[in-house]
Amino acid sequence: MQLVADNVACVRGGREVFARLSFSVGSGQALLVTGGNGAGKSSLLRVLAGLVRLSGGRLSLEGRADATIGEQSHYLGHQDPVKPALSVGENLRFWVDYLGGNGDPASALKTVGLGAVTGLPAAYLSAGQRRRLSIARLIAVKRPIWLLDEPTSALDVSAQAMLAKLMRAHLRGRGLIVAASHGPIGLAATRELKLGHR
């Protein structure tokens, strides 16, 4: 499987965020998208996820003609999709059911270090715990493409190491990752795509 971007462009709010952008990422590979604030890192991930309309160029998923990029992707954005009134376990169970997964939420929560707070209302979680709850979705519902926007945001050192381990396992399983970040994300052999201001 290969994710291919051919001369893609994005316009938001009447401003060209990026244009003539081409790259490809194959199974078992990770692409780190870097650049300053406003360079278009988040916009690129949202375009790939199908949340923002492509203004020009073409996106394709070679080797998977039966599904769109968005249907094969997990998108982990800046804001963690957590319902405060639901418990930690109920939040993850919602996503497993909604996304049609068959993973074990309890096991996923244990993997990210939230096994002891499954019954706690999500309103009581710290920012780092909310991020770990979002990461649990990546484990509980298998999807080959991970689109990660500042994935280490709010995570302490041990949680960053846990995430890096999960990403390495995902790549070994022939998944692919496109991650936007201002700094390293714990993956050694990562190609870089640097976006500039326009």
Report the C-alpha dihedral over residues 95, 96, 98, 102, rounded to 10 degrees: 170
28 contacts 191 by C-beta, under 8 angstroms:
no
What is the tens place of the pLDDT at every residue in 80-126?
Answer: 889 999 999 999 999 999 988 788 899 999 999 999 999 999 999 99
Does the 2-194 domain belong in CATH 3.40.50.2000? Answer: no
1 contacts 144 by C-beta, under 8 angstroms:
yes
Residue-range domain boundaries for the chain? 2-194
133 contacts 89 by C-beta, under 8 angstroms:
no
What is the tens place of the pLDDT at every residue in 117-150?
Answer: 999 999 999 999 999 999 999 999 999 999 999 9
Judge residue 198's burial from the number of C-beta atoms within 10 Å of its C-beta, 0-12 exposed, 13-18 middle, 19 or more buried: exposed
Amino acid 28 reads: G
Q: What is the pTM of this model?
A: 0.93
* Structure-token pair, residue 126: 């710290």
